[in-house]
Amino acid sequence: MEEKIKKYLGVDWGEKRIGLALGDSLLKIATPFKTVGDPARLLEVVEEEGIDILVVGKPLKLLEEEGASRNKKFSDFLEGLKKKAPIKIELVDERLTSKAADSLKRAAGSYKGAASRDEIAAMIILQNYFDNL
């Protein structure tokens, strides 16, 4: 019997916006998906897209120290997800993903339909996860 192809959702958490990227266990290629404004909408996307695993970027400072206020907000976000999302949640170090996203956006130039910085950061988080499986 073949193993079911699992759907992954990469998550770049931010206090104002949450960037999302999609991928699956067959191709292991992350693609930018959309940006949502709050955790409730994120949970709707999980259900709508049939997501099996959430890959969430964990915000850390460059010296691996967690920022106090930002970390509290992220911890609250993560606890809410754990309580409401009945799926596996993986955490990935997200250091420098926003800077990498900015570089990719600059390299691609601006064109209609371009992914947002948050979506690209989510794609990088998810692709890093796939690359380290």
Q: What is the pLDDT of residue 3?
A: 82
pLDDT at 101: 60
Q: What is the 3-state secondary structure (H, E, C) of 61-104?
A: CCCCCCCHHHHHHHHHHHHHHHHHCCCEEEEEECCCHHHHHHHH
| Nearest residue to 31 via CA among 133, 99, 110, 130 | 130
Give the Cα separation of 53 and 96 in Å (integer). Answer: 23
Instruction: Tell me what pLDDT residue 45 has.
Output: 97
| pLDDT value of residue 59 | 81
CB atoms within 10 A of CB 112: 4
**Amino acid identity of 129?**
Y
- What per-residue confidence (pLDDT) applies to 62? 45
pLDDT at 63: 45
Per-10-residue mean pLDDT of the chain, 133 residues long, equals: 89 94 97 95 97 92 52 90 94 73 61 76 94 91
The reply to whether CATH 3.30.420.140 applies to domain 7-131 is yes
Q: Is the pTM of this model over 0.75?
A: yes
Torsion over CA of 19, 83, 40 and 91, rounded to 10 degrees?
0
Q: In what order do the strands lie in the sheet with 7-12?
A: 31-36, 18-24, 7-12, 53-58, 88-93
